């Protein structure tokens, strides 16, 4: 039987679970745990049932519910360290488990929640203890001693990092549990027949190809894993919105990052997968960033020409775009145009606004037509045109520019002031007399060279359509290309679908502050000579014999 007593001064509620001399009881306060990442969620009909669930579980030291319609969250020993009272910004009701001989109707909350230490097991006061202290903005919990090693290995992947054994070699692959769900552009998953979150979590941990694992009891199957090239964004969410869902991210730690807190691991840090997480290309590393909306996953490559098949300094799934100028003897001259990286991303039905947001999150912009012929699918100079090298990825990773008539959002948008269309980055267009070559069409001969000296807008016939709301633009590639340039721009509303995807442009890794691959290797203590290498031919100037 449970009893409640209102303490007006402290606005605390007290619950006593079973009157006796010394036993576990609950002190209930108006407050909220600082994070719910390490909790177990259960559905209950009342907060009394929530505390009953905690009472029935030996490891549980705290229970929380934000309101009567939300799940109950149970926290085990060593999983939560701070409770924020509602007056300081918290929201909800929290029950502290305490071990005391105070009578149910006379519990002294101020005493029990300020400097008192409690045991996980009544007959063991030497280990597995927790102390509750009152703070200005709520309460803190300090854990004394540790669980036996057979019960707490690598911190059991709880939120409360760093772990005592976190830098042990066996713990250098860790799982970070997040309040998040798979975000935009998430590709196909690998489904596994796991029926509990714990099974699902450890399945990902021991599966080399798994980078992100997601558990949803409403799906069949419930457990889904994602490799590095299949997931890009994790939508941050509130614990009350998870409804039994769970998500975790696998991170390979160095001897430096193994000492980070959970927040530090997610705050713009770089990781080297080596052989511990598969499905990454040779000589790659990845980055985790936290934004108000997302946890972002970005994959980078060795920035040197020798080891990057897509172009020096371009990220995975990007193709380089370089302008050239030659002197009278045909030798390359320095060109003032920036070297860019292009990415064609399949995203059927995406709107222009959503595509622009994603490009911005990828540190770039929707693509600018760098020169007349830029969006042509013909293989000419691999280091200049957009589509040719992306075809090797097919429709799974990007848009093949031939066959069909793909439509892709690009960075042409109407200026709100001038009401004229302009490119997102006109400074990325070639206006310095750069030289390009084109394919040989039936009506075109020699295929170049052409010299580019103005910002181009290659509108299709009858375009742009300046009807109200047609403020964005996409490029459409001709199905049977018979005339140069083989594509045209079309105006459209920004909030409609109808395209196959979009084209992003970004600066190279070294031009936007990404660490060198060697710097990442040094943090992980890796010998560069022992890292697998695959040298590729990178085209750095026009070669009529290059390509089909």
Query: In angstroms, rounded to a whole number, what is the distance separating the alpha carbons of residues 421 and 458?
Result: 12
pLDDT over 60 at 285, yes or no: yes
Other residues' Cβ atoms within 10 Å of the Cβ of residue 539: 16
The overall average pLDDT reported for the chain is: 81
pLDDT of residue 533: 55
Q: Which of 98, 97, 101, 47 is nearest to 71 (CA)?
A: 47
Confidence of residue 5 (pLDDT cuts 50, 70, 90): very low
Provide the CB-side half-sphere exposure for 340 (13 A, CA).
Answer: 28
Sign of CA dihedral 273, 276, 279, 282: positive
Domains, the chain, ranges and CATH? 3-144 (3.50.4.10), 156-299 (no CATH), 303-511 (3.10.100.10)
Confidence of residue 387 (pLDDT cuts 50, 70, 90): very low
pLDDT of residue 500: 86
pLDDT of residue 18: 38
Confidence of residue 532 (pLDDT cuts 50, 70, 90): low
User: Of 138-147, 336-345, 534-543, which has the strongest mean pLDDT?
Assistant: 336-345
Tens-place pLDDT, residues 81-137: 999 999 999 999 999 999 988 887 778 888 899 988 899 888 777 778 899 999 989
Q: What percent of the chain has pLDDT over 90?
A: 49
21 - beta bridge partners?
none
Tens-place pLDDT, residues 391-415: 333 222 334 454 456 789 999 999 9
pLDDT over 50 at 535, yes or no: no
Tens-place pLDDT, residues 216-273: 988 888 999 998 888 999 999 987 788 789 999 999 999 999 999 999 999 999 999 8
Tens-place pLDDT, residues 354-386: 999 999 999 999 999 988 888 876 543 333 334
Query: In angstroms, rounded to a whole number, what is the distance separating the alpha carbons of residues 162 and 142?
Result: 14
Taking CA atoms, 165 is separated from 78, 142, 155, 244, 405, in Å, by 14, 18, 7, 29, 56
pTM of the complete model: 0.70
Query: In angstroms, rounded to a whole number, what is the distance separating the alpha carbons of residues 31 and 388?
Result: 58
Q: Where are the alpha helices (DSSP H) in 400-541?
A: 517-523
pLDDT of residue 134: 92
| 3-class state of residue 257 by DSSP | helix
Tens-place pLDDT, residues 57-90: 999 999 999 999 999 999 999 899 999 999 999 9
Query: Any residues with CB less than 8 A from the CB of 100 and at least 6 apart, and which?
Result: 22, 23, 25, 107, 112
Query: Are the C-beta atoms of residues 223 and 213 closer than 8 Å to each other?
Result: yes
Query: In angstroms, rounded to a whole number, what is the distance separating the alpha carbons of residues 390 and 393?
Result: 6
299 - beta bridge partners?
286
């Amino acid at each position: 039987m449970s009893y409640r007593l209102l303490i007006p001064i402290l606005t605390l509620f007290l619950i006593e679970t079973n009157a006796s001399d010394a036993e576990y009881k609950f002190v209930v306060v108006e407050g909220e745990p600082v994070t719910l990442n390490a909790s177990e969620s259960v559905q209950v009909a009342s907060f009394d049932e929530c505390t009953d669930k905690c009472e029935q579980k030996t490891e549980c030291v705290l229970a929380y519910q934000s309101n009567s319609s939300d799940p109950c969250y149970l926290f085990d020993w060593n999983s939560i360290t701070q409770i924020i009272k509602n007056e300081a910004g918290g929201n909800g009701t929290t029950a502290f488990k305490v071990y005391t001989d105070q009578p149910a109707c006379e519990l002294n909350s101020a005493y029990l929640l300020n400097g008192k230490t409690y045991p996980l097991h009544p007959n063991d006061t030497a280990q597995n203890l927790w102390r509750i202290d009152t703070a200005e903005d709520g309460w803190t919990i300090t854990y004394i001693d540790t669980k036996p090693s057979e019960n707490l290995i690598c911190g059991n992947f709880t939120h409360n990092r760093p772990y005592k054994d976190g830098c042990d070699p066996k713990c250098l692959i860790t799982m970070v549990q997040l309040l998040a769900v798979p975000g935009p552009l998430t590709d196909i998953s690998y489904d596994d027949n796991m029926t509990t979150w714990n099974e699902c979590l450890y399945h990902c941990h021991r599966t080399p190809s798994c980078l992100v694992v997601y558990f949803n009891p409403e799906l069949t199957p419930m457990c889904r894993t994602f490799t590095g090239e299949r997931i890009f964004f994790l939508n941050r969410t509130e614990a009350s919105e998870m409804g039994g869902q769970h998500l975790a991210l696998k991170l390979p730690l160095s001897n430096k990052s193994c000492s980070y807190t959970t927040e530090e691991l997610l705050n713009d840090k770089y990781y080297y997968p080596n052989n511990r997480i598969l499905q990454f290309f040779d000589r790659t590393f990845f980055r985790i960033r936290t934004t108000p909306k997302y946890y972002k996953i970005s994959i980078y490559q060795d920035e040197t020409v020798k080891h990057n098949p897509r172009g020096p300094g371009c990220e995975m799934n990007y193709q380089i775009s370089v302008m050239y100028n030659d002197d009278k003897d045909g030798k390359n001259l320095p060109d003032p145009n920036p070297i860019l990286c292009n990415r064609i991303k399949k995203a059927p039905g995406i709107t222009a606004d959503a595509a622009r947001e994603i490009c911005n999150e990828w540190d770039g912009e929707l693509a600018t037509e760098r020169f007349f012929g830029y969006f042509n699918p013909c293989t000419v100079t691999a280091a200049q045109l957009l589509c040719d090298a992306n075809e090797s990825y097919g429709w799974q990773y990007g848009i093949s520019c031939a066959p069909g008539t793909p439509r892709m959002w690009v960075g042409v948008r109407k200026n709100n002031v001038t009401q004229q269309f302009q490119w997102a980055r006109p400074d990325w267009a070639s206006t310095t007399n750069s030289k390009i070559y084109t394919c040989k069409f039936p009506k075109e001969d020699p295929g170049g060279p052409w010299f580019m000296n103005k910002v181009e807008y290659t509108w299709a016939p009858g375009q742009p359509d300046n009807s109200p709301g047609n403020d964005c633009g996409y490029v459409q590639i001709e199905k049977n290309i018979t005339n140069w340039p083989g594509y045209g721009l079309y105006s459209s509303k920004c909030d409609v679908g109808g395209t196959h995807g979009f084209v992003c442009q970004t600066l190279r890794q070294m031009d936007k502050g990404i660490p060198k691959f060697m710097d990442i290797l040094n943090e992980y203590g890796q010998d560069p000579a022992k890292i697998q290498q695959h040298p590729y031919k990178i085209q750095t100037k026009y070669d009529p014999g290059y390509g089909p």
